[in-house]
Structure 1
């Protein structure tokens, strides 16, 4: 996709060529920032229907009108990012990304080597 831009300093026209073509952003990345404690049950139920149960939890939902309406109902409590389908992470993938390194590497087992 080529786009034309006019520079402020000159009157010539420049073509801007993107270095990489990104995939269309078709998912919402929803992260709960504020707790729903002391809020009406209608708001709590909306968060539950989005699959959010605790603060700083992140879920992914596809773009559609139903999810957009739910997000609008809780927009003060969450942060939203539009992401591409390949950026969507499952719960186990998110957990693996947060896991710290083990701090050691197992190179072998002397007990099993002696039995052979």
Structure 2
């Protein structure tokens, strides 16, 4: 039987090896244009509610512009934004995105909007006699 210390070292070395393999694996490519662009923004989505959390955590979420669950905001890579993300890291999910992937509030709403389901071919109100 192996001593407990050697089991821990084996487990940690195998975990390290898995992390190295994961890090060296190429990320799945979506488009070639997105890969060539530098990642300049954070896409931050609030995943967990801030109910019953301290005021400083709630204030950090407000400073990031997050007011409700599943809301997504975009911020440029800056040290102050990175610090705010670290403060609320358990509540948010963060992804690095290029500048072309940044969407404002209206663009996000239009992307979520369902298609009409019908097409207007003409109007009797605006028809010429």
* Unaligned 5+ runs, structure 1: 1-17
Deviation of the 1:111 alpha carbon: 3.0
CA displacement, residues 33-88 of structure 1 (integer Å, 9 cap, x when unaligned)? 00000000000000000000000000000001000000000000000000000000
Task: Give the structure 1 partner of residue 73 of structure 2.
Answer: 59
Aligned residues: 98
* Unaligned 5+ runs, structure 2: 1-28
Matched, 1:44 2:58: yes
More helix by share: 2
- RMSD (CA atoms): 1.6
More strand by share: 1
Question: What is the TM-score when the length of structure 1 is the normalising length?
Answer: 0.80
1:11-50 alignment, distance < 5 Å: 20=32, 21-50=35-64
Deviation of the 1:112 alpha carbon: 2.5
